[in-house]
Amino acid sequence: MPPRDSDTPTADPTRVPSPFDLSGRVAIVTGAARGIGRQIALTLAGAGAHVIVADRNEDGGRAVAAELQDAGRSGRFAFVDVTDSASVDALVRNVLATEGTLDVSVHNAGVAVNTPAEETSDEEWLRVLDVNLNGVFRCCRAVAGPMLLRGQGAIVNIASMSGVISNTPQPQAHYNASKAGVITLTKSLAGEWAERGVRVNAVSPGYIGTEMTRAGMEHEAWRDRWLAMTPMGRVGEPHEIANAVWYLASDASSFATGTNLLVDGGYTSW
Ligand code: NAI
């Protein structure tokens, strides 16, 4: 038997293939038309993945797909409305028919609304839960079929620090409850699917500078409270979340499942 590279005295033990390399992997990212999802799509594509930029916003999604193609990366837009099971199932069928495989699925689509709990209508409560929690479940269920069949896959759900604390001063009980649901859903699915090769993890951002938080950042009293309660004293940037997703989407996290990775500038440590 020829000596293995590791047996030879001259072998460099630091020369290993990067576990972060996503070359040849196919990844779906929902809610990728803007904000955090856009940056997750660009980061995964930059790491070598072929990325399906999935969103209900066609113009924004096509622009992000063009952006990554212009940068010499691989990917395309695909429509999805995560509140519609038929739309989610069709997305996954379309990816399997077109790309032939699915390795990574990042469930990031979400909405935030600020309404005092006692004034929240049934309709608004159900809408927030339907996008943020039911949408993540629909996506997990749809991608689980092909991933479990193949015995391989990495799912990353975008939850929030709002799933472990309740934000202040803005009222958003439905949003917080939906994100707590995403964290527990993630742990439940991780347990069900671990022995069959599919890892399910969550990333929970703190305040990140996107359209979702723009109005709050322009509201002086809210901004001052948010920054005072964040040990790092600033909001995060989308790439600081995308890098955490990259880790959980890649083989670098091969022993991680059911985890909730908080990336919040220290907010939940006070
Ligand atoms: P954003 O509002 O900038 O982008 C959300 C994206 O989701 C949009 O492209 C939108 O078209 C898409 N989307 C919404 N409903 C959809 C549906 N039914 N089907 C398909 N796509 C849909 O939000 P942002 O800030 O980029 O947030 C992304 C994720 O990160 C969300 O899940 C959010 O709850 C979470 N998050 C954000 C934080 C922040 O400070 N920005 C903090 C913690 C969590």
Distance (angstroms) between ligand 1 centre and the Cα of 15 equals 38
Instruction: Give the integer Cα–Cα distance in Å for 189 and 245.
Output: 18
3-state secondary structure (DSSP) of residue 113:
coil
For the whole model, what pTM was predicted?
Answer: 0.95
Q: Are strands 50-55 and 74-79 parallel, antiparallel or unpaired?
A: parallel
Helix (H) or strand (E) holding 263: strand 260-263
Distance (angstroms) between ligand 1 centre and the Cα of 200 equals 19
242 neighbors 36 (Cβ within 8 angstroms): yes
Query: Which of 156, 164, 210 maximizes ligand 1 atoms within 8 Å of its Cβ, making it the mutation to test the pocket?
Result: 210
Tell me which residues have their CB closer than 6 angstroms to ligand 1: 30-31, 33-37, 55-57, 60, 80-83, 108-112, 131, 135, 158, 160, 205, 207-208, 210-213
- Residues involved in catalysis: 175
3-state secondary structure (DSSP) of residue 34:
coil
Instruction: Give the integer Cα–Cα distance in Å for 97 and 127.
Output: 31
User: Of all protein residues, whose CA lies closest to atom 8 belonging to ligand 1?
Assistant: 31
11 neighbors 34 (Cβ within 8 angstroms): no
Is-cis flag, bond preceding 169, omega within 30?
A: yes
Only one residue has tokens 């620090």, namely 161
Helix (H) or strand (E) holding 103: none
Query: Which of 111, 113, 174, 186 maximizes ligand 1 atoms within 8 Å of its Cβ, making it the mutation to test the pocket?
Result: 111
pLDDT digit of tens for each residue in the chain (270 aa)? 344 444 455 678 777 789 999 999 999 999 999 999 999 999 999 999 999 999 999 999 999 999 999 999 999 999 999 999 999 999 999 999 999 999 999 999 999 999 999 999 999 999 999 999 999 999 999 999 999 999 999 999 999 999 999 999 999 999 999 999 999 999 999 999 999 999 999 999 999 999 999 999 999 999 999 999 999 999 999 999 999 999 999 999 999 999 999 999 999 999
Distance (angstroms) between ligand 1 centre and the Cα of 176 equals 14
**Contacting residues for 146 by C-beta, under 8 A, at least 6 apart:** 92, 96, 101, 102, 153
What amino acid is encoded at 265 in this protein?
Answer: G
What amino acid is encoded at 155 in this protein?
Answer: I
Residue 263 pairs in a beta bridge with: 205
